[in-house]
Amino acid sequence: MSTAAVTPRATGAGPAPTAAHTGSRRRRPVRPGAVLVYVAVVVLAVVYVYPFLIQVATSFKTDADASGSGLSLVPQTWTTAAYQQLFTRSDFPLWFRNSVVVAVAVTAGRVLVDSLAGYALARLRFRGRGLVFAGLVAVMAVPNVVLLIPKFLVINQLGIYNSFAGLIVPLVADAAGIFIMKNFFESIPPSVEEAARIDGASTLRLWWSVVLPMATPALVTIVILSFQGSWNELSHFIVASQDPQLVNLTKGVAQLASGGLGQGNLYPLKLGAAAIMTIPVAVLFFVFQRRIMNASAGAVKE
């Protein structure tokens, strides 16, 4: 009588452990090149951010502290005297209001004009279209300082010198903005407009209802570039007006830098005004940052 060998069955035993479960997970080796890249990025970030931190810190210092320890990020005596002087004993609120009015009007005008001109160059077929576009590119290559005297003569002849119109109207048309909008409209296939065109939509209706909503990334780019450019503009405002009631922030801060509010270095006062100037542009950029980064979302494939 033969007895069969019975292999005892292990109870509660799971699958054989693998090296991934038993062994510790190996870390990817750190490459020296990656470390150098991160170090370089951190150094560049510090180089760009540190002057802004000095600017904010110095605005809360006294004049003596700002002169003695200009690179210190911690004031020896915290004070808001610079901001009190800006808002109570200077025309800074007037300058700020003028800058807001001009920047908002120029931004709205550029969005309208640049999108219309860009759509016309991208979609409409007319004689001389190539010549107009070549002239547009040529204008982009001309330095702004070369146009100051002709701009002054035109503003004076139109009778808008020393007025908000003289500050705003010459800045409404922007060659770079038209170039951006034209290229973006050309990335949208004409087929998306065919259904509306068959229904009898006019060219203006196609631009407003069909194409323009698809150009949101390009429009956001125009908004930021236009607001930033008009907010920081100086040379145009110098030749367009000499009225003290039309002074904007850039001209006003330039007057502060030349000692317009008293003797001494006035570092806290100047840097406090400069810090306030950066707030609207920084807020606008952070609000629309995602829209700019997603600029490829406007492209449509056929």
Amino acid at 7: T
Question: Which pTM value belongs to this model?
Answer: 0.80
- Asked whether the beta carbons of 88 and 212 are under 8 A apart, the reply is no
Residue 241's pLDDT is what? 93
CB contact at 8 A, 184 and 166: no
pLDDT higher at 298 or 241? 241
Query: How far, in Å, CA of 293 to CA of 255, rounded?
Result: 37
**Residue 7 predicted with pLDDT over 60:** no
Radius of gyration from C-alpha coordinates of the chain:
30
pLDDT in tens, 236-263: 999 999 999 999 999 998 888 776 655 6
The answer for residues whose C-beta is within 8 angstroms of residue 180's C-beta and 6 or more apart is 114, 118, 218, 221, 222
Q: Angle 126-111-168 (CA atoms, 0-180°, nearest 5)?
A: 105
Walk me through the domains of the chain, giving residue ranges and CATH numbers. Answer: 32-79 (no CATH), 90-298 (1.10.3720.10)
Inform me whether the pLDDT recorded for 13 exceeds 70.
no
- pLDDT for residue 21 is more than 70: no
Residue with tokens 């407003």: 208
Give, as one character, the DSSP assignment of residue 290: H
pLDDT tens digits along 76-86: 889 999 999 89
For residue 273, is pLDDT > 70?
yes
Q: Mean pLDDT across the chain, nearest whole number? A: 84
CA distance 186 to 282: 30
